[in-house]
Amino acid sequence: MSPRETRRSYVRVGPEFEALLEGWSSGGGGGARVEIPTDVFITDDPPSVTVQLDVSGIDPAATQVALEDQVLIVQGNRMPPPRGGRRKYQQAEIEWGSFERRVRIGVPVDGDRAEASYQRGVLTISLPIVERDPPTVPPVVILRVRQPR
């Protein structure tokens, strides 16, 4: 089993999260983009969807966050530190450059009450779930059936 197959086996989730995971991508077209590891989870108290992105090294003020048709879109740029002199890498794993992460939110959320924070390299976005009123059940009318005489 390759490392990629092993990773896939660890990220399997139950069907209740299928809608949340559907549509995850790192953008498309226009060249390579930085892959941003992302976690999405739902909390009950308060009811909200939380999205956490591993974006160490970004400028939070230069990062755009938008919610469009239940899709959270996060765009930014991870700039490399200034280079001094010639480098000969032995290992290079950190991805530098622009990124776009789209996360489909599978429940109705209130974008006006969304909150975002950036701490220790993790961007956390909390989206309160819109609580729907319970469906109204029409009253049951019981009719008396008369027997023919």
CB 103 within 8 A of CB 40: yes
Per-residue pLDDT averaged across 56-79, rounded?
91
Residue 135, pLDDT score: 66
Confidence band, pLDDT 50/70/90 cuts, at residue 66: very high
User: Which CATH number applies to 35-82+93-132: 3.30.540.10, 2.60.40.790, 1.10.600.10, 3.40.50.20?
Assistant: 2.60.40.790
Residue 87, pLDDT score: 83
- What is the pTM assigned to this prediction? 0.66
Per-residue pLDDT averaged across 79-93, rounded?
85
Q: 54: Cβ–Cβ under 8 A, 6 or more apart, which residues?
A: 36, 37, 38, 121, 122
- Residues 115-139: tens digit of each pLDDT: 999 999 999 999 999 987 666 777 7
Phi, psi of 146 (to 5 degrees): -90, 140
In the chain, domain spans: 35-82+93-132
For residue 15, is the peptide bond before it cis, meaning its omega torsion is within 30 degrees of 0? no
